[in-house]
Structure 1
Amino acid sequence: MDNFSEFDTRGVSPIKETGAIISHAFENYKTIILYSIVTLIGVAIVSSIVSSILQSLVGYDSLEAQEIINDSLRNGDYSAISHIPGFRATMGLSFFVGVLFYPIYTGILNVLNKANYKQKIEFSDLFIGYKQNTGNIILFLVIANIAISILFVMCILPAIFIAPFFFLGLPIVFFENKSVGDTLSKSFELTKENYGVLLGASFLGILISFCGVFLCGVGIIFTGFFFIAVMYSAYCAICGAPRQLTS
């Protein structure tokens, strides 16, 4: 297994200010944007193919489902949606397929870290999450996504204010090889000490990532992973730039 050493002073780390973190993220992200684009397109294509195959296996007809959903929206009766043939199985399988791609996020962190050290990046660097602390990476992201999703359903404001407590979690679980429990504990502790900075950085990072949607939707290909760049830069600002991989 590949392992990370604790920290290094050679990598560039921004100061603990929201503006400095966003600026550092922009500079770093520009150097890896091609890898971000290829990854997003690749994940979208593979997900689409796998989802189509799984839908056919469970008898889910997307056209029929769309008609039922449209009728439910018009009539205000949403009970029919849950009775769409294959709907529940498709939702469950879609979630499972999405989970399988979670380690790719740490691949983006890895190439960002290499870019920060001005090191050569290889395409294989994107798949390191499938070798480095994979189980804890997936479990952390499942917990974080479920928690944030529940808060968004309740009200968008609680989600915005709670999200910073999870923001450093992915870099911690990946770069430091920590368990989920230790990751959550350290992430929450660091966030309490730097809440204002992380609130601003996480909000702007996610907002900029979603700005691509307004550019005819295609822009999301260019901005989709920017929030991970902000996540990495915030981690560097608060914890220091992590060392490069050692075999």
Structure 2
Amino acid sequence: MSEFNEFDQQGSVPNRETGSIISHAFEMYKGVFGYGVVAMIVYLLGGYVIQLIFGVDSASMVEEMRSSGGKFNYWSMPGVPLYTGTSWLFGLLLSPLYVGLIYMVNKYNTKTPIEFSDLFIGYRQNFVNILIYSFLSGIISLIALALCVLPVIFVYPLLLIGYPILLFENASATDALKKSFNIAKENYGIFLLTAFLGMLISVAGVILCGIGIILTAPFMMIVMYSTYCAFLGKPRQIMYNKEI
């Protein structure tokens, strides 16, 4: 038990400022970089397999969009409706990996040894609520996106710390939404700028011929953790039963 307390006393917490949170996230990402890449490879490989199953050729789709003069109908492409629904379901089922990466970051921050199996803690702890939260936040984002791209940018900060709340507080999906919303609402300027910079860095990999997204996309999960630490304090290291 003394070892557990020792780990809890270690680790850093950023100030409630965007610069401090992003800097903290960079420091944390160094420790889990490889695991973040693994999570992204799993996600991209799954998406590629789904494309093959439904016969969707994303390269030719992009080419058609360029040559259509703005008259491209995405839903008329063969296999696209089924592919879109299956991809969404696949993304939903992989959302516990986000929680796993956040769990690993906290272990790195508290100087606790990290194991590969930690990446899958979201499938063992609070799994149903993680799925429900991912579903609800996805619906909220889709509604905002339907209104225009801009509302998504303003809505996303309200969801920023939902996953850490689900993990460290074992909260229900609705409680995680409410708590994330309330804290973000009270500190909206910081949350907005932090989420914007986090997303900007996460998609920066597209510049490197697209493949760089594997390296940068997981950064957003680390931003969520650092933001949680800044406003709710460094969480205690949680323990879980590795046997399913």
TM-score (norm 1): 0.85
- The 3 A distance-change label for structure 1 pair 9 and 197 is farther
Residue in 2 aligned with 1:5? none
More displaced 10-residue stretch of structure 1: 88-97 or 65-74: 65-74
Partner SS for 2:235? coil
CA distance in 2, matches of 1:30, 1:111: 12
Matched, 1:76 2:71: yes
1:65-98 alpha-carbon deviations (Å, 9 max, x no partner):
84995599347263xx534443322221121112
Partner Cα distance (2:67, 2:170) in 1: 46
Give 2:219's aligned residue.
226
The corresponding residue for 1:169 is 162
1:187 aligns to what SS in structure 2?
helix
Mapped partners of 1:73, 1:33: distance in 2:
39
Q: Match of 1:216, SS?
A: coil
Moved more, 231-240 or 217-226: 217-226
- Give the whole-Å Cα distance in 2 for the aligned partners of 1:234 and 1:72: 43
Once residues 84 and 67 of structure 1 are traced to their aligned partners in structure 2, the CA distance between those partners, rounded to angstroms, is 12
CA drift of 1:43 comes to 2.5
Answer with 68-77 or 213-222: which moved more.
Answer: 68-77
| Residue 35 in structure 1 maps to residue 30 in structure 2 | no
Q: 2:64–2:72: 8 Å Cα contact kept in structure 1?
A: no
**What code does the residue aligned with 1:49 have?**
V
| Identity in percent | 43
5+ residue gaps, structure 1: 1-7
Matching residue within 65, 88, 92 for 1:95: 88
What is the RMSD of the two structures over their aligned residues, measured on CA atoms?
A: 2.4
Q: Distance in 2 between matches of 1:205 and 1:120?
A: 26
Q: Distance in 2 between matches of 1:191 and 1:70?
A: 37
CA distance in 1, matches of 2:233, 2:165: 12
Counterpart CA distance in 2 for 1:87 and 1:31 is 38
**Cα distance change, pair 70–28 in 1 and its aligned pair in 2 (3 A):** closer
2:210 aligns to what?
217
Q: Which has the higher contact order (CA 8 A, sep 6+)?
A: 1
Distance in 2, matches of 1:212 and 1:71, equals 22
Please, which moves more after superposition, 94-103 or 204-213?
94-103
Give distance in 1, aligned partners of 2:61 and 2:189. 42
TM-score normalised by structure 2 residue count: 0.86
Q: Secondary structure at the match of 1:119?
A: coil
1:153, distance to aligned residue in structure 2 (A): 3.3
Q: Does 1:152 align with 2:145?
A: yes
Alignment partners' CA distance in 1, 2:187 and 2:68: 43
* Structure 2 equivalent of residue 4 of structure 1: none
Would you say the 8 A contact 1:9–1:241 is kept in 2?
no
C-alpha distance in 1, partners of 2:120/2:87? 21
Q: Would the aligned equivalents of 2:129 and 2:173 in 1 still touch at CA under 8 Å?
A: yes
Cross-structure match for 2:22: 22
**Which region of structure 1 is more displaced relative to structure 2, 145-154 or 162-171?**
145-154
